[in-house]
Each structure stands twice: as C-alpha cells, then as structure tokens.
Amino acid sequence: MKNGFNPLVDLIDDETYQILSQLGLLNEIKVRDYSIQKEFRALRKKKISAGDAIEQIRNEYPYLQFDTIRKIVYTPNGN
C-alpha cells in the first residue's frame, strides 16, 4: 500500500485494505490490474481513444509494455 492509497476503495474500506495488505492476503498484481482496468474505463468514458488511454496508463506503469496493458484491459478480471 503506497502512502495509504487504497486502489480498492470502491470495494473495501481503507482500514480493511490496510489489514489485508499487511497480512499479505492481497494479490498485488491483481490489485494493480483492477486499478488499470478501472482507469482505462474512466479514460474511455472521457472519449479518449483506446490507444491513447493505454499510453496514459503506460506512463504510470512504465515497466509494462503496451501489449501487456492491452491484455489487462481487454481480458475479463485481468486473467
């Protein structure tokens, strides 16, 4: 958890997220993928093209390739 940031705020409260994170009960990759999917949907609602949305997300996750992000956003539940 980065500086108290809860990427699952729409699902669980901050305290629960912090406890689960501290206990190692969260799959950090799945949490990241969920956040990426959520951000992608928000960008697309703003009429940003899919390619531009992926590039914006890629700026936040520079260690991920364009195709990796594309797979995350177009695969249900990031699987």
pLDDT tier for residue 57 given thresholds of 50, 70 and 90: very high
| Range name among 2-11, 35-44, 53-62 with the lowest pLDDT average | 2-11
User: What is the per-residue pLDDT for 31?
Assistant: 94
Question: Is 63 within the bounds of a domain?
Answer: yes
| CA–CA distance, 47 with 15 (Å, rounded to integer) | 34
- Map tokens 């990426």 to a residue: 36
Verdict on whether the full-model pTM lies above 0.85:
yes
pLDDT tier for residue 6 given thresholds of 50, 70 and 90: very high
Average pLDDT, the chain: 92
Question: Is 11 within the bounds of a domain?
Answer: no
45 Rama class: left (phi>0) / alpha (psi -120 to 50) / beta = alpha
Q: Report the domain count for the chain.
A: 1
Residue 31 sits in which domain range?
Answer: 27-78
In a 13 Å sphere around the CA of 50, the CA atoms on its Cβ side amount to 9
User: What is the per-residue pLDDT for 42?
Assistant: 97
